[in-house]
Amino acid sequence: MHSQAKKLTKKELCSLKSKVGGLKSAQGEKMKILVIDDKPENIESARREFGGHDLTAISDVDEAVKHLRIKYDEIKKEELKKGGMKWREALEKSRLPFPYDVVLVDLMLPASGYMLGDKKVFAGQEMPYGFGLAILAAKNGAKKVAVVTSMDHHQHPMSAFIDHIDGHIHIAEAEVVFLQLPDYNRPPKPKSWKRAVEILFGQERREKTAEEIIRGE
């Protein structure tokens, strides 16, 4: 699958490399990044690659939903209501900004047992939560979201489905990209979240050559 993305200017590219390279940008900026993945090696990869940023790493779907929910300034809400504002308007005006600059989500995550009742047979099975979590993040104010899988389109139906979603798309005000970043090394390397961010922020994507795969690049 090939995704077409806009070319960055030299200045934009330098700024991007500074941001995702684990260091502060020239302006001293740090990004708030949320990574959702159940594999410990992928969480550790995120910690290495985003060491200079404010990283939150989550491996549980229920916990991820809590982090992606809309949050409100309760004190402000009560003050607005006391001042005569209607409840719904006060709620909207007390809404807090979405807390993350970037949300990175694994495609497949273990199913939660929440709300399953006696249907616990599904709990723990890998399900394509990445699609739903990306939509939830976008709906609630995220601006940059990537759903990332290490599987290619031969390894799972949901990874194959990503072939139909070509390039960057917009959901609400978010730019969202669905990525297959397969690793053909043996044993496979942990997921490269840094590469996902580079693609999300607009660097042109290309497939690796056979020589690069052999060299482990």
Full set of structural domains in the chain with CATH: 10-71+100-215 (3.40.50.2300)
- Report if pTM > 0.85: no
Q: Is the pLDDT of residue 203 over 50?
A: yes
Give 4-21 pLDDT, tens digit per residue.
444 445 454 445 444 444
Question: Buried b / exposed e across 51-65, counting CB within 10 Å, b at 16+?
Answer: ebbebbbbbebeebb
Q: Is the pLDDT of residue 215 over 60?
A: no
Give 31-65 pLDDT, tens digit per residue.
999 999 999 999 999 999 998 899 999 999 999 99
Beta strand 109-110 with 32-36 is unpaired
Burial class (CB in 10 A: 0-12, 13-18, 19+), 102: buried
Q: Is the distance from CB of 196 to CB of 168 less than 8 angstroms?
A: no
